[in-house]
Structure 1
Amino acid sequence: MRLYQSLKLTITILAVSAGITFAQEAPKPTSGNPIVQGWYADPEAKIFGKTYWVYPTYSAPYNQQVLMDAFSSTDLVHWTKHDRIVDTSAVKWARRAMWAPAVTEKGGKYYLFFGANDIQNDHEIGGIGVAVSNKPGGPFKDYLGKPLIGKIINGAQPIDQFVFKDDDGQYYIVYGGWGHCNIAKLKNDFTDVVPFANGETFKSITPKDYVEGPVMFKRKGKYYLMWSEGGWTGPNYRVAYAIGDSPTGPFNRIDVILKQDMSVATGAGHHSVINIPKTDEWYIIYHRRPLGEHDGNHRVTCIDKMYFDADGHILPVKITNEGVAARVVK
């Protein structure tokens, strides 16, 4: 050790004498946008313990979109990739187009809900499935051996599911494409859905201009439903929201809060949100298309702050290239 230190000191003295300096890597001040490299879309964001997790769609043509990666961070700035946390080899009935994951923890296990196969009618096998793991970074294995929801109900293609846990412990699944949004109560073990008090199993809660990508959260006693509008391959993709008094609404559209900025990126949409525990700090995680990109699958995952006004309305989000500053969960 003494010899190593002596050699290091000698090299340093010689380098300084020769006018040579050693550059140190500067700390990363913000996350930057996108937060990770690669084509990733439809991000689901969660906080498990003191770690942030992002579960996106691997954005590729449908027949190549047969796997999912995940990313974790302790500060929102530095991210670690977890490769191939699930793929079609672990879900035998899924053959193509696994996308838009929703992840929740229950009883020490992690459940990943996903859409698969892009079914167009009730005669095809596919829809919303569930995979399970003992760790948030997987690997995840098929939980049911079949879709949880495999039929088109109330006009809603079974895709783009979101899992919402209410204060009473009840878990709901909110989902739907083709301009229709359904909500259902999940059975305690996530093996099925159970009826509402009136006997209805799948309740339509479709707001005006809804297209896909629902997200639900609760803030100060109010239920917020958010969704994506426009076409996912186009520049007019955007996020709007409504506020209700219960998980089933009614939800009347209020406004668009996330959209493209032609000086930053286009096609901003299909998002999720996170709230720092015991605070009123909120972040929106979403995908967008870099300027100059026209391939529908060239989407990247980004993060920005989300704010509310005094009346509880969501303020328009400013999309940035800088992203967000470091934030550790205490």
Structure 2
Amino acid sequence: MKIKILSILCIIATLHIQCKEQKPSSAGADESDSISVEVFEFDKPIITEQYTADPSAHIFDGKMYIYPSHDYESGIPEDDLGNHFAMRDYHVYSMDSVGGKITDHGKVLDIDQVDWAHRQMWAPDAAEKDGMYYLYFPAKDKDDVFHIGVAVADNPAGPFKPESDYIEDSYSIDPSVFKDGGEYYMYFGGIWGGQLQWYRDNKFQGKRDVYPDDEKPALQPKIVKLAPDMKSFAEAPKDIAILDKDGELLKTLDNDRRFFEGAWVHKYKNTYYLSYSTGDTHNIVYATADNPYGPFTYQGKILNPVLGWTNHHSIVEQNGKWYLFYHDSCLSGGKTHLRSVKVAELKYNLDGTIQEMDKMVSVD
């Protein structure tokens, strides 16, 4: 694919960010075989052949693998439910280390392969167990209700073969899987278009947007232990309590701190870090706990707002350094549904708190 390279200035609020615009195809799914794309440059999109978002990054067999969603121009008008985010397939990308050449391993799963799925294959994640690899993904069924599916491969680059049905008792969006010792835990959930507000105590309440009152505790992300087969739940999903420093649950009206979507858990020096997006206030924030179930205590921001409506991230360590993978809309000139994956080094203070970032940081 011949890429046209232009320089543009992307502006959001008071942030002035220089980035390079390279027009990827937005026509739909790409059937290409495995190809190498341009060498990574810090603070710029790391994938420019197509639009990518919601990056889940993992180290498998010593190599960095990225599992993003795949944006394209759907032609659907923008709305608060995210119908214009009409993604329908997944690619897998890899690089030996951050800063190296990125390889696109091609399309590894398409919605036409998933019997139960109707539309909107949103942010995925992946996990490995006993030499098998599992791709977890949300999609809407024929009734436009989100569930979480799983597909399996014998290598991290796929292709992945989907199970015939979604995971029983799964709902909402943004699955992410965290391994702790020999156990695997899935975190999931998202409000507004993510439909978490349609459920109470894991029971579907109908297609009704019901939120707690402003002064009541906000809706919480979910955690569930995966069964040994990695294709089912070993228990009923549980709420993850997110508390303020006084030990009180974050409230619905606390838009700067309350959970919206994109939960991700990592462990650093025996502390569990739950990070997530605040959605309509556009922050990536984090809370900490001493076990994967929480409760988690809110600590602060990781990443301030980026260009575009959404932000969705992952955090991973490689060769002694920690990295934040995220996306923005700089490459598309600010189109909120055409996003591109970026990466920055994440740094901790001596007390274990995470240094706050203003969009772009220099990486040594």
- Smaller-chain TM-score bracket: 0.7 to 0.9
| Amino acid corresponding to residue 108 of structure 1 in structure 2 | G
The 1-side partners of 2:150 and 2:339 are apart by 25
The 2-side partners of 1:131 and 1:292 are apart by 30
- Please list the CA deviations of residues 30-81 of structure 1 after superposition, one character each: whole Å capped at 9, or x if unmatched: 4451001132111000111121111111123458511111111113231111
Q: Give the drift of 1:295.
A: 2.7
| Amino acid corresponding to residue 171 of structure 1 in structure 2 | Y
> Counterpart in 1 of 2:345?
305
> Counterpart in 1 of 2:155?
135
TM-score normalized by structure 1?
0.76
Find out whether 1:146 has 2:165 as its counterpart.
yes
> Counterpart in 2 of 1:75?
97
Change (3 A) 1:254 1:32: closer
3-state secondary structure, aligned to 1:76? coil
3-state secondary structure, aligned to 1:194? coil
> Counterpart in 2 of 1:237?
282
Q: Give the drift of 1:292.
A: 8.1
Find out whether 1:284 has 2:304 as its counterpart.
no
Structure 1's consecutive aligned runs of 4 or more residues displaced over 2 angstroms after TM superposition are: 27-32, 60-64, 123-126, 149-152, 265-269, 291-296, 317-322
Change (3 A) 1:128 1:254: same
Find out whether 1:166 has 2:177 as its counterpart.
no
| Amino acid corresponding to residue 120 of structure 2 in structure 1 | A
TM-score normalized by structure 2?
0.69
> Counterpart in 1 of 2:53?
41
- Larger Cα-atom Rg: 1
Alpha carbons 2:124, 2:175 under 8 Å: kept: yes
Alpha carbons 1:103, 1:110 under 8 Å: kept: yes
Moved more, 73-82 or 213-222: 73-82
Q: Give the drift of 1:318.
A: 4.3
Q: 2:67 aligns with which of 36, 42, 55?
A: 55
The 2-side partners of 1:31 and 1:292 are apart by 18
| Amino acid corresponding to residue 165 of structure 1 in structure 2 | K
Change (3 A) 1:96 1:316: same
Alpha carbons 1:34, 1:301 under 8 Å: kept: yes
Matches within 5 A, 1:213-292: 213-231=262-280, 236-260=281-305, 265-267=307-309, 269-276=311-318, 279=320, 281-290=321-330
> Counterpart in 1 of 2:356?
316
Q: Give the drift of 1:270.
A: 0.7
The 1-side partners of 2:331 and 2:61 are apart by 36
Alpha carbons 2:42, 2:344 under 8 Å: kept: no
3-state secondary structure, aligned to 1:89? helix
Q: 1:113 aligns with which of 131, 136, 158?
A: 136
> Counterpart in 1 of 2:188?
175
Superposition CA RMSD, Å: 2.5
Identity of aligned residues (%): 32
The 2-side partners of 1:149 and 1:314 are apart by 36
Change (3 A) 1:311 1:129: same
3-state secondary structure, aligned to 1:177? coil
> Counterpart in 2 of 1:11?
none
Change (3 A) 1:85 1:177: same
Find out whether 1:202 has 2:237 as its counterpart.
yes
| Amino acid corresponding to residue 188 of structure 1 in structure 2 | P
- Please list the CA deviations of residues 77-103 of structure 1 after superposition, one character each: whole Å capped at 9, or x if unmatched: 311112211111221111211121110
